[in-house]
Amino acid sequence: MQQRDSGLEKRNDCPTVNVAVLGATGSIGTATIDVLHHLDRIDPTTTWNLWAASGHRNVALLSELAGQFTRPPTQIAVSDPASAATFAAGKSLAKTQLVTGPEALVEIASAPEVDVVVAAIVGRAGLESTLAAVESGKRVALANKETLVVAGSLVQSTLKKAESVAARSGPAPSTPTPSGPARSSPARSSPARSSPSDAPRSGAELLPVDSEHSAIFQCLGEQQAAVSGVPACKPRKLILTASGGPFRNASMQEMHDATPQRALQHPTWEMGKKISIDSATMMNKALEVIEARWLFDIPAESIEVVVHPQSIIHSMVEFEDGSVIAQLSPPDMRLPIQYALTYPRRLACETPTLDRSRPWDLTLQPVDRERFPALELGFEVARVGGTAGSVVNAANEEAVGLFLDGKIRFTDIVPACRRALENHHHETQPTLTRLLELDRWARAEVRKHYA
Ligand SMILES: NC(=O)C1=CN([C@@H]2O[C@H](COP(=O)(O)OP(=O)(O)OC[C@H]3O[C@@H](n4cnc5c(N)ncnc54)[C@H](OP(=O)(O)O)[C@@H]3O)[C@@H](O)[C@H]2O)C=CC1
Ligand SMILES: CC(=O)[C@@H](O)[C@H](O)COP(=O)(O)O
Ligand SMILES: [Mn+2]
């Protein structure tokens, strides 16, 4: 096993940021581990410490990733109990504690020693740990968009509660503390409302990792930086870009006949299987509309989607005067991951810079809503809220699984979600228990339909 060298001399009084990576073995998780090695190498002012990491079934990779650190993580979680039995910690992890089962994710996410939780589990399975991290006042770098799709309103209210608890216990120090994150961070519950000044941090922070939402967050921040001291301008529109996925130009027949192998071939991003299929149906963009609705506390009517095949413009914000600010960078998740960790600081990143030595095209085109009916579903869910997100998300997770197993057609996925939405009795203010009941109900409905 190869241990990576920290390289750089840290300042004596250097504070440590303890990071927990949930879903460390996935595409976002492994990219986060790379970012942590990089930051610890180049940042003289902070020690970036992997305090805990979780995996579900890929225990070999989990052990390898954890073993790369000269300071071994304090805890490792294997959330799938059957896989936990096969976890073999190398010699370098002799002092690391192994915790197991889905409860272990919540334990790590709320551990007092943890400053930052990277929520990189795929699907609804990431919900409880993300909520626990918010509740216990962490900085949450959120990749797990499904949490906001299922329980956006609940996350928002939890965030507000965590903020008021922190406010009651007095302002946090404005300089980094020995075991705490950079307390100068201004990010608050709603990135749209945060300002890039050096205000002390109060309570939980929810920072986007999803490239589009990170882009919007950056556009809003830059706009506010330019008018420091002046009340922030409200955005008129958030404009999410979509690559269009592997079927951007495909006929309905091609989509009807699509194999999992073909649907997994994303043109611009290398990602996990579930999100790759979501991109192919454009359900990913539907989920991102809902994510934006909750993350930025903005109505569905103020959100637009535009197809941008190059995935260089990651999203845009239109302001009241019609001015549009965009964020551009090559398609590489290390940038938004790093920004969520270091915000409001910008540090050198390993992502390549845009090659401006050659001509380049940036294309924008409208979405074909007939071939991609998922998008309308996303806007509907963002409009009505309540139980709709949980039902559509669960139906989608189930249908994607059936498609990957060769049991249903690619073009069955979105209708399965539409059917579940229409067959459920909508409730406007569900509890977490009710949302989880409906999650199970929607999965069963999809399975029953195709049995
Ligand atoms: N990949 C990307 O570029 C982007 C991803 N996202 C979002 O980030 C999240 C992660 O995506 P991605 O990294 O691609 O996914 P991957 O499939 O690559 O990784 C998923 C991670 O979740 C773990 N996991 C799977 N099932 C469970 C479960 N039931 N309980 C606990 N952990 C589980 C996996 O563990 P194991 O492998 O050990 O079984 C793995 O660590 C998703 O919500 C996605 O939408 C957002 C923007 C971009
Ligand atoms: C990298 C990322 O954020 C993904 O969500 C990506 O945007 C998927 O590409 P699509 O635009 O094709 O959904
Ligand atoms: Mn995205």
The residues lining ligand 1, judged by C-beta closer than 6 Å to any ligand atom, are 23-29, 55-58, 79, 120-122, 125, 143-146, 210, 269, 271-275, 333
User: Ligand 2 within 6 A of 277 CB?
Assistant: no
Domain 16-166 identical in fold to domain 212-331+367-450: no
The structural domains of the chain, with segments of one domain joined by +, span 16-166, 212-331+367-450
CA angle 47, 51, 55 (to 5 degrees): 135
Q: Which CATH number fits domain 16-166: 3.40.50.800, 3.30.420.40, 3.40.50.720, 3.30.1330.10?
A: 3.40.50.720
| Residues 389 and 146 sit within 8 Å (Cβ to Cβ) | no
| Residues 281 and 367 sit within 8 Å (Cβ to Cβ) | no
What atom of ligand 1 comes closest to residue 105's alpha carbon? 31
The answer as to CATH 3.50.50.60 being correct for domain 212-331+367-450 is no
Full pLDDT tens readout for the chain, 451 residues = 566 755 677 877 899 999 999 999 999 999 999 999 999 999 999 999 999 999 999 999 999 999 999 999 999 999 999 999 998 888 889 999 999 999 999 999 999 999 999 999 999 999 999 999 999 999 999 999 999 999 999 999 999 998 777 777 765 443 333 233 222 232 333 333 333 233 334 478 999 999 999 999 999 987 676 555 666 778 999 999 999 999 999 999 999 999 999 999 999 999 999 999 999 999 999 999 999 999 999 999 999 999 999 999 999 999 999 999 999 999 999 999 999 999 999 999 999 999 999 999 999 999 999 999 999 999 999 999 999 999 999 999 999 999 999 999 999 999 999 999 999 999 999 999 999 999 999 999 999 999 9
User: Ligand 2 within 6 A of 189 CB?
Assistant: no
Give the whole-angstrom CA distance, residue 233 versus residue 325.
13
CB contact set of 144 (below 8 Å; sequence gap of 6+): 22, 23, 119, 120, 121, 122, 123, 126, 127, 130
Query: Containing H/E element for 25?
Result: none
| Residue numbering of the annotated binding site for 1-deoxy-D-xylulose 5-phosphate | 145, 211-212, 243, 266, 279, 284-285, 288
Report the complex ipTM. Answer: 0.99
Which of 365, 325, 347 minimizes the C-alpha distance to 215?
325
Note the pTM of the prediction, 2 decimals.
0.93
Which residue is listed with tokens 């996935």? 26
